[in-house]
Homo-oligomer: A and B are copies of this chain.
Amino acid sequence: MATLRDVALRAKVSVSTVSRVINNEPRVRKKTREKVEAAILELSYLPNRTAQRLRSLNAKNKLIGLVLPDIQNPFYVDVVRGVEECAYEYNFAVMIGNFAQDERKEKMYLDVLQSESVDGLIVAPSHGRDQHIARVMENGYTVVCIDRGLIGMEVDIVKVNNEAGAFGAIEYLIGLGHTRIAHITGHPDIPTTAERVAGYERAMAKYGVEVDPELIKSSNSDYQSGASLMRELLELPNPPTAVFTANNLLTLGALKTIHESERTIPDDISVVGFDDMYWSMSLNPPLTAVRQSGYEIGRKAAELLLKRLADPHRPAVSLVLDTELIVRQSCKPR
């Protein structure tokens, strides 16, 4: 591949001048610039980003890292879209690491991205006391957290009001006359889990509905867990009449179990899921869900990161977006 030097030789100018041209610096005579541009075209020269990055310490790398817990989860796919679209507009490239809820893998990706000298990172911490991310911040990297905060750290956060979202879902179910409302939650260490449980409990308390501890189930935040926890609930001597699932994957898993058990929704059991998907209305039945826009979260996070890159001394911001209850047909009055 052609280098700066090749272009310089071809255009009969110095390396410095070519560098100035590709960086759009004003101090280049029009004629020179044209000569250089011609040479660039002829050699189909591409700046070597590796060398650029090695050399410059300013935010010129045009690369941001995105570290996600689970790319299988459609929610995070939306986040990717949001981040990417914003980054693209500003000519930033995005490097994605998917750690699949595996903390070792998370650390590995964090290390790799630091080694790549990214300008900044957008991360969904595996839990609130994520040491690895704290370490990254100590190393001077700009970080924006999504979905989950970081305890005791001054850091930009974009998330959703999980407590209120869950509260709304439960309130809705209670309004339909349900009292035996189960909650399939995510992994207990994930901050959003606690927030969603809190919303559940607050709603139950507000309407004086007793919380039966055996109706709150948790293990992991994945499809398998959703399926198996739902099975446990259905096998209870006094099974729930409604279930609130704490994320996408859990919802899908729970639906699978319910369908396998030959029960029908919402006649036998009502379902509200956290996380909406664009194809939720094609589910059986069209799913009533608490929508949080992954796209919006991703986009805002990227904007925040880019802004902070421009002004590192801006105080940390905590952006809490609202959720919306999308009522479809998976719930029925009791």
Interface residues of A (CB under 8 A from B): 1, 44, 46-51, 53-54, 71-72, 74, 77, 80-81, 84, 88, 93-98, 105, 108-109, 111-112, 114-117, 135, 139-140, 223, 252, 255-256, 259, 278-279, 281-286
B282 & A115 in contact (Cβ 8 Å cutoff): no
Chain B residues closer than 8 Å to A284, beta-carbon distance: 282-286
B259 & A114 in contact (Cβ 8 Å cutoff): no
* 6 residue pairs bridging A and B, Cβ less than 8 Å apart: A1-B140, A74-B74, A93-B97, A93-B112, A95-B95, A283-B283
6 closest pairs, A vs B, by CB?
A284-B284, A49-B115, A255-B282, A252-B279, A96-B96, A93-B112
**What separation, in Å, do the CA atoms of A49 and B256 have in the docked complex?**
44
Chain B residues closer than 8 Å to A71, beta-carbon distance: 77, 80-81
- Chain B nearest Cβ from A286, distance in angstroms: 7
Q: Count the copies.
A: 2
**What separation, in Å, do the CA atoms of A279 and B72 have in the docked complex?**
12
**What separation, in Å, do the CA atoms of A94 and B281 have in the docked complex?**
34
**What separation, in Å, do the CA atoms of A114 and B53 have in the docked complex?**
14
**What separation, in Å, do the CA atoms of A206 and B142 have in the docked complex?**
62
A50 & B117 in contact (Cβ 8 Å cutoff): yes
Chain B residues closer than 8 Å to A111, beta-carbon distance: 46
A81 & B77 in contact (Cβ 8 Å cutoff): no
Q: A80-B98, A285-B284, A286-B284 are in contact. Are A115 and B252 (CB under 8 A)?
A: no
**What separation, in Å, do the CA atoms of A259 and B284 have in the docked complex?**
10
**What separation, in Å, do the CA atoms of A252 and B93 have in the docked complex?**
30
Chain B residues closer than 8 Å to A72, beta-carbon distance: 77, 81
Selected from B47, B88, B117, B139, the residue in CB contact (under 8 A) with A115 is B47
